[in-house]
Amino acid sequence: MARGLLQLWLTMAKLTRDDVLKLAELARLDLNEAEIEQFAAELSEILQYVEQLQGVDTKGLEPTHQVTGLTNVTRADEVRDYGYKPEDLLKNVPHVKDNQIKVKRMLG
């Protein structure tokens, strides 16, 4: 899409009910009717606010993903004993079987 067209589309961006449902599906959220209506309005308003970035000239600039300048932080590939037992680390798991996490069936 040409940049101008994209911008035009963005400034008109208003989330529809279908958009909200699609996002909710991607995010694995079940929204009720009131939430769908509320988020459609609120997200549209927030997105309209952040659209002020669309016209900003960023020619020649790369995105910033981190600010420390650190690169390739590694350590020796060796087992370290932090003193945790598997059962300690599993104590918050809802369903455990034989020290493994048990989940519901994946296919309907």
By CB under 8 A, is residue 56 in contact with other proteins? yes
By CB under 8 A, is residue 58 in contact with other proteins? yes
Which of 5, 7, 39 has the alpha carbon at shortest distance from 23? 39
Q: How far apart are CA 11 and CA 3, in angstroms?
A: 12
DSSP letter for 101, please.
Answer: E
Among 2, 5, 12, 70, binds other proteins (CB under 8 A): 70
By CB under 8 A, is residue 71 in contact with other proteins? no
Contact 103, 95 (CB under 8 A): yes
Which of 21, 19, 10 has the alpha carbon at shortest distance from 50? 10
By CB under 8 A, is residue 2 in contact with other proteins? no
Residue type, 28: R
Footprint of other proteins (CB under 8 A): 6, 10, 15, 20, 23-24, 26-31, 35, 39, 42-43, 45-47, 49-54, 56, 58, 61-68, 70, 73, 75, 82, 84, 88-89, 91-95, 101, 103-108
